[in-house]
Amino acid sequence: MAQTELIFQPGVILHDSIVGAFRASGRSFGAYCTQNGICGQTARQATFGQQAGPKGAALLLRIIEAAGPDLVMASYKYRMAQEAAKLALHNAQAA
C-alpha cells in the first residue's frame, strides 16, 4: 500500500471517495473513527491533506485500507476523470 501515498492527492475528491467507499460497504466514516479511537476532525484533516506529516500520512493510509483501497481507487479515478472532462470542456469553450 506504500504506493497509495503517491497516487492520491488529498482533498475533497479523496475525502468523498473514502466516505463513499465506507458507505458502499454498509459502514460509515464516523463510525470507523469512533470504533478506532480516532478524532473525526483529525481523520477528516488527514483526508484533506491538512495533517500531512508522517502521522497524518500514516493515518490516511490506515483510513484508505479500512475503507477498501479498491473502492477508494475506483471512485477517485471516476471523480478525477469527471473533473478533467469539465476542465477540457471549459478550455475548449474558452478557446
Residue 52: its pLDDT value, please? 82
What is the number of residues in the chain?
95
What distance lies between CA 28 and its chain's CA centroid? 14
Residue 90: its pLDDT value, please? 87
Tens of pLDDT along 18-50? Answer: 999 999 999 999 999 999 999 999 999 999 999
Any idea which of 3-7, 25-29, 46-50, 88-92 has the lowest mean pLDDT? 3-7
Cell (9 digits) for 5: 501515498
Residue 48: its pLDDT value, please? 96
Domain count across the chain: 1
- Is 43 within 8 Å of 59 (Cβ atoms)? yes
Phi (first) and psi of residue 63, to 5 degrees = -65, -45
Cell (9 digits) for 74: 475506483
**Taking the model in full, what pTM does it have?**
0.87
- Structural domain of 85: 4-94
